[in-house]
Structure 1
Amino acid sequence: MPRLCLTFIIASFLNSSLMADLQIPTLTLNPLYSVVQPGEVLQFRCITNQTETPSDFTLYKNNSIIKTQSAVEITLTADASSQGLYNCDYIFRSSRSSRSNFINITVVNLQQPDISFRADKGWFHGLWGSHGLEVIKGYAFSINCFTKPQYPGGSFNLLFNGFTKKQTNFNHSAIFQFPEAEFDHQGNYSCTYEVSVSSRNFTSTATELLVITVKASPVPYIAVGLAAGFLLLLVPVIICFVKMQKRQKLQVNSSKKYKPTVQLPDVTGAGDIYETPQADDETDEEADYENTKDVFQQKDDSGDSDNDYINVDVCDLQI
């Protein structure tokens, strides 16, 4: 029994003296920055000055074991759950060293922003199964990029047709104005959000594409259509007007040919006498005919008297 106690005391003394000889490791990170985004590779190194290589290295996050391996370098791929405090230790001759310094890892996981379109007038949704929005040339429109609050500051990038427009974040949104739509503004639009954290710039994934088509103004075509429609309506009106004028002229001519009956006063007591201007005309014509006849008869009588006078003279001469 005394021997067992002595053996235990000696082993404990040797183990404590060995741990005292084990140096505290140093945890390093490659690359040097500790602010990362999902998908980036984290390379930790648990470094010790031991003359002999330790058997195992263990990496901890928030005092929980993440990984244990024999190699000095421990590689991780960052994701949203990678954020936390990291340190390490090692095992040498069945003894575990003290833990290293801490490295604080921050993961910047920017959410995908949203994009929207706005125009007071001069726009409409695509027709006949086409996608996107259609804007009339010359009309104003705007595109709004916005995101949920995550970090203060930052800016929004509007991407279209290979160009980029940047605008400072205001209340987690930015409005890009287009005072007059031009054909160059036609294309696919998307937004990204950019922010600086610990001297590193991070950019979110792009939004879904917003397809905008710029159309020519339909006003000239509408004016031509209205003019053509007005002419089509005016032609039958003109035809009807001409026909009515002809009909009125025919009615006036027919009314001139027809002469109404005139009532004469009763002077004989036999009743009213009705005469028409046509009867008067016939009476006048008969009177003219009688006068002409009398004239010709007078001429004939004068001719006969002359003949008689000549005959008398001749007879007197013979006697």
Structure 2
Amino acid sequence: MPTLTLLSPHTVFSPGEAVRFGCSVLLGHHLSDFHLYKHGVSTPLVTQRAEQGPTPVELTLTDIETFHQGSYSCRYRIKSGFPPQLLSSPPSNSINITVVELLTPQHWYNTSTEAPAGSVIKGHNFNITCSTPKQYPGGSFQLRLIRSNGTVRQTLPALAPSVTFTFPDAQSSNEGYYYCLYRVQMGGRTFVSRESQPLPIAIRDPDPVLSPMVISWIVSGLTFVVAVIVIIIVAKVLCNKEKKPTELERETRTCVDNTYVALSINKL
């Protein structure tokens, strides 16, 4: 029975890498070729012709993808009999490999509804959520903020497919471009995803209690009210003047009354 060994220094790989196996046997006569099999697949993934010399024979699986993850074994074939026939050996021991595929995380943010798109009002809280459709045990999310005076990083364990970074009191130091990435350590290696697209966030000062437009409306309203009051007062004054007799009217009435009295006396 052949022996399969892993010539690569680790058992965990990224898509696109190569995995090197070694298949060795004790006997060396009449060897024809070596084959690398994946468990559950009937046809060999790698075939290597046997060369004169010591084993192991290297069997390299190149440009691997996620479907290459699984258990592998090797077999060899020998020429035997007359006429020569190819006889296959029993399968070797098995070796498992893992293929880690990290997808680019998605991210979004939430804040108060009165904040314009892409902005957070100063002093308000906001949250940034990082999410990945595929996670591995022990993974974590890193949120990176690039601002004018440097870079700030925060990390949270990926206990679920998404995590939320909370900022309870937005300040100018929170303004900048945010990026998410996913990181995991497996098999003694560290795997890091690509960073997400930048998420720009601007910090805006809160609007004043009375905006210039509101103040303008209030002034216009007060001016209108004052004008109405003045008109009412003037109208009342004019009305009162019409009701009171003038000095000339009083003198005329007195003169007429005196004349009437004098005429009455003369008649008597």
Q: Provide closer, same or farther for how the CA distance between residues 230 and 47 of structure 1 changes in structure 2, counting only shifts above 3 A.
A: same
Aligned-partner SS, 2:22: strand
CA deviations 1:256-309 (Å, max 9, x no partner) are 3359x9xxxxxxxxxxxxxx874335556999xxxxxxxxxxxxxxxxxxxxxx
Unaligned runs of 5+ in 1: 1-23, 127-132, 262-275, 288-319
Whole-angstrom CA distance in 2 between matches of 1:152 and 1:51 = 44
Whole-angstrom CA distance in 2 between matches of 1:180 and 1:150 = 30
Conserved 8 A contact 1:156-1:169: yes
Whole-angstrom CA distance in 1 between matches of 2:101 and 2:162 = 18
Show the counterpart of 2:142.
157
Show the counterpart of 1:12.
none
TM-score (norm 2): 0.70
Q: Larger Cα Rg: Structure 1 or Structure 2?
A: 1
The number of residue pairs the alignment matches comes to 241
Shift of 1:136: 2.0
1:88 aligned onto 2:63: no
1:185 aligned onto 2:189: no
Show the counterpart of 1:213.
202
Shift of 1:82: 0.6
Unaligned runs of 5+ in 2: 51-56, 81-85, 262-268
Say which of 210, 225, 228 aligns to 2:213.
Answer: 225
Conserved 8 A contact 2:134-2:161: yes
Matching residue's letter, 2:156: Q
Say which of 222, 241, 250 aligns to 2:238.
Answer: 250
Conserved 8 A contact 2:16-2:62: no
Conserved 8 A contact 1:157-1:165: yes
Structure with the larger RCO, 1 or 2 (CA within 8 Å, 6+ apart): 2
Shift of 1:120: 4.2
Conserved 8 A contact 1:89-1:96: no
Higher share of residues assigned helix: 1
Shift of 1:177: 0.7
Matching residue's letter, 2:166: Q
Paired residues for 1:1-319 under 5 Å:
25-47=2-24, 56-62=33-39, 64=42, 65-70=44-49, 72-73=57-58, 74-91=60-77, 98=89, 99-124=91-116, 126=117, 133-147=118-132, 150-161=135-146, 162-219=151-208, 222-258=210-246, 278-281=252-255
Q: Percent identity?
A: 32
Whole-angstrom CA distance in 1 between matches of 2:189 and 2:112 = 39
Whole-angstrom CA distance in 1 between matches of 2:176 and 2:225 = 49
Q: CA RMSD in A?
A: 3.7
TM-score (norm 1): 0.60
Conserved 8 A contact 2:102-2:134: no
Q: Provide closer, same or farther for how the CA distance between residues 61 and 171 of structure 1 changes in structure 2, counting only shifts above 3 A.
A: closer
Whole-angstrom CA distance in 1 between matches of 2:8 and 2:208 = 61
